[in-house]
Structure 1
Amino acid sequence: MAETTTVARPYAKAAFEFALSQGKLNDWSKMLSAVAAAADQGEVKQLLLNPALTSAQKAEVLLEICQSSLDESVRHFVLALSENGRLPLIPVIAELYEALRAEQEQTVDVVVTSAYPLDEQQQNKLAQALRKRLNREVNLSTHEDKSLIGGIIIRAGDLVIDGSVRGKLAKLAEALKS
């Protein structure tokens, strides 16, 4: 994975810098997401790895799938990836692009998993506290998982805060084993 990320990073950075210079960060985000979703489908993924097809044929198939959702600059980007044999990296490139965009816009996607549904007031209070702690605008999404028993788990990028009863019980069990 680290090698894939290392190879994909310059392409993501180039796409990001181009989109930023054109004032089209959001448009590129949508288009790269569409291409990445297409490239990540089982049959298409196998096709992109097929050595019997030329790079141009692979790009043609991918562009045909996404034709209505791409502008000319993204088409050229996909063709450049194709010429360099990097089409299978598109999902990683899209992910890295989104990370660069979030950094530029000072935003972070936060996933909150709770044992019970959070009402709007709880979500707002949590978002406000996270905004203050992370010094970023927070895009909050919530999920339910009854197996947590109580409490919440917060995931914001690499940061994970486990305040669940299940997590505390697991820590206690680990401490008792020692």
Structure 2
Amino acid sequence: MAELTTLARPYAKAAFEAADAAGALAQWSQMLKLAAAVSQQEAMTKVMGSPSLTTEQKAEAFVGVCGEEIDAKVANLIGSLATNGRLPLLPQIQQLFELHKAQREKSVDVVVTTAFELTGELQDKLAKSLSAKLDREVNLTTDVDASLLGGALVRAGDTVIDGSVRGRLTKLAEAMNS
């Protein structure tokens, strides 16, 4: 996985710079999501791996499937990826692009897992609190996992805050056993 990310990084950076220069981050984000989804379809993986097709034919087939949902610049990116045998990197390119976009927009996706459903008011309070703590705009999504017993598990990028009862019991058990 790390190797794929390393290979995808320059393409993602170039795509981000092109989108940023054009003021089209949201449009590029949508187009790259589509391209990443298309690249993972079984029929397209067969096309991408077909030795009987030229790189131009693979790129044309890929762009044809995406249709009018992508513009000429993204089609050029797909052509470049096809020429270099890198079409399977599109999911990693899309993920890295989203990270660049989030950094630029000073936003972060946060997943809060709780034992019970959170009310809208509590979600708003939590989002405001996390926004102040992380110094970023928070895009909050919630999940319910009854095995947590109580409390919450917060994931924001690489940061994990485990305030769940299960997590506290696990820490207590580890402390008692050491």
Tell me the TM-score range normalised by the shorter chain: over 0.9
- Out of 90-99 and 58-67, give the one that drifted further: 58-67
Shift of 1:126: 0.6
State the partner residue of 1:32: 32
1:157 aligns with 2:147: no
* 8 Å contact from structure 1 (residues 49, 88) kept in 2: no
State the partner residue of 1:57: 57
Alignment of 1:94-105 (within 5 A): 94-105=94-105
2-structure distance, mates of 1:174, 1:52: 58
State the partner residue of 1:135: 135
Alignment of 1:1-80 (within 5 A): 1-80=1-80
Shift of 1:169: 1.8
Q: TM-score, normalised by structure 1?
A: 0.94
- Out of 22-31 and 64-73, give the one that drifted further: 64-73
1-structure distance, mates of 2:2, 2:74: 25
Unaligned runs of 5+ in 1: none
Counterpart residue type for residue 88 of structure 1: P
Q: Deviations over 1:118-151 (max 9, x none)?
A: 1111111111111111111111111111111111
1:119 aligns with 2:113: no
Q: Provide the alpha-carbon RMSD of the alignment.
A: 1.4
Q: Deviations over 1:18-59 (max 9, x none)?
A: 011111000000000000011122342344234443322322
Change (3 A) 1:166 1:52: farther
2-structure distance, mates of 1:177, 1:148: 21
- Out of 163-172 and 56-65, give the one that drifted further: 56-65
Q: Deviations over 1:42-98 (max 9, x none)?
A: 342344234443322322222122113111111111111111111010000000000
Runs of 4+ in 1 over 3 A off after TM superposition: 49-53
Unaligned runs of 5+ in 2: none
* 8 Å contact from structure 1 (residues 8, 93) kept in 2: yes
2-structure distance, mates of 1:27, 1:88: 21
Change (3 A) 1:43 1:149: farther
2-structure distance, mates of 1:49, 1:172: 51
Shift of 1:172: 2.2
Q: Deviations over 1:107-126 (max 9, x none)?
A: 00111111101111111111
SS of the residue 1:66 aligns to: helix
SS of the residue 2:109 aligns to: strand
